[in-house]
Amino acid sequence: MLTARTITGKKICLGFDYTKESLLSLRNKEEFICPICGEGVVLKLGDRRIFHFAHKQGSSCRDVYENESFYHMEGKRQLFQWLVRQKIPAALEYYISDIQQRPDILFKFNDKTYALEYQCSTIPENVFFKRTKSYLDHHYIPLWILSSDQIHQKRKTLIGLSNFQYLFVRSTSTGNLYIPSYCPEQRQFRFVESITSFSIKNAFFHSSIYPKKYTTVEDVLEPNMSKTINLSSWNSEMEKLILNWSVHPQPGQLHFFQEIYNRGLNLFLMPPEIGLPVAHSLLLQTPLIIWQTYFYLDVLADKDPNDTISFHEIKDHFNKRKYRNDIMRRNLPQIEQLNPILPIIEYMMLLERLGIVRRKSDSLFEVQRKITIPISNREREEARGDFYKKNRRILLIQ
């Protein structure tokens, strides 16, 4: 821990740049206590770790604090100093007695109070949810920042994210989703942005690096984002996904395979209109090609040109699939206000731009043409080639 109090009640915050000599002098004069439990703590002034306070062996309060690594302590210390240098009111390790939680940093910005949590290790999801809900219920805005060493991209624009890492997704005021991270060793922020998921864990993304000394709070809360996707790479990953499913089917996919077989579809002969990237696909944990196939079967397959489709019909089919666990939403506690049906709506809007449907009113669409199902690999490849050549510009607008 980086904060303590003296016996006389003076707060000592090691987030500021004390010299070792001044702290040695202070340690010789003062005794220190934990601001939460009131037990004695020791001021550690080693040469290999940053200066910090530690509970004495056998303390009953020790479980209140996670075992903090150097990376974690140094990271939150740097983030605290970063806020202070912007003249933003901030408190390091401030204990909020009403909810019995101690965010790494509590700060105020634009008349709002933020609880910043810098997380360097995995904690149980229920703990993450509990902390986040407590902050929100008491009008604190949670700002979870992931340690950058937890992010492992597979390729330049491809990343694998665990369920825990997805918990860090937050939204800008315009609805763009991203994961903020910070590296104390390189003293820079890294944003995982424009996350377009296509399976439970894998997603396309863009990565932006912001050196701390050139970065403001506004940059962290409202980052600018790139939104394009390399369609060739997207198609390649979708092909790999389908092949992997055929070789190593998972138990949760068997119902999907059975349903499309019963409806006369072949996973290897899907039309190019199924499996398209949409901006908020990460709101759904179900792989994109599965929920778009369900959308086709439920909403489009039996429709003819000039037939209508209402938003009520779309929502009703979605809720039925969700009730049966055919489609599952992703747990995203920081953006629960976003409707999980949003990816479905975005897909419908994309089909409108592709000329498959036409909007008649705010809640009603009319079918313009049916989606053609290929009957051979050759027909499928020809259809996909023509489709992407004709619609490349439309598909890049996400």
- Looking at residue 178, its amino acid is Y
d(CA 131, CA 197): 26
**Scanning the structure block, which residue is given the tokens 């700060």?**
107
Burial class (CB in 10 A: 0-12, 13-18, 19+), 63: exposed
- Looking at residue 9, its amino acid is G
- Which H or E element spans position 150? none
Angle at 74 between CA 218 and CA 113, to 5 degrees: 35
Q: So what's the pLDDT on residue 63?
A: 46
Angle at 298 between CA 296 and CA 302, to 5 degrees: 80
| Parts of the chain with a pLDDT under 50 | 63-64, 66, 397-398
Burial class (CB in 10 A: 0-12, 13-18, 19+), 202: middle
**Scanning the structure block, which residue is given the tokens 């003062």?**
30
d(CA 33, CA 31): 7
User: Residue 127 is encoded by which pair of tokens?
Assistant: 């703990």
User: Residue 139 is encoded by which pair of tokens?
Assistant: 């009008």
Q: What one-character-per-residue DSSP string does 155-191 give?
A: ETTEEE--HHHHTT-EE-TTS-EEEEEEETTTTEEEE
- Looking at residue 361, its amino acid is S
Q: Are 367 and 266 in contact (CB under 8 A)?
A: no
**Scanning the structure block, which residue is given the tokens 């072949």?**
266
- Looking at residue 250, its amino acid is Q
d(CA 190, CA 231): 24
What pTM was estimated for this model as a whole? 0.86
Q: So what's the pLDDT on residue 397?
A: 46
* 238-268 core/surface letters (b: 16 or more CB in 10 A; e: else): beebeeebeeeeeeeeeebeeebeeeebebe
Helix, strand or coil, per DSSP, at residue 2: coil
Q: So what's the pLDDT on residue 67?
A: 61
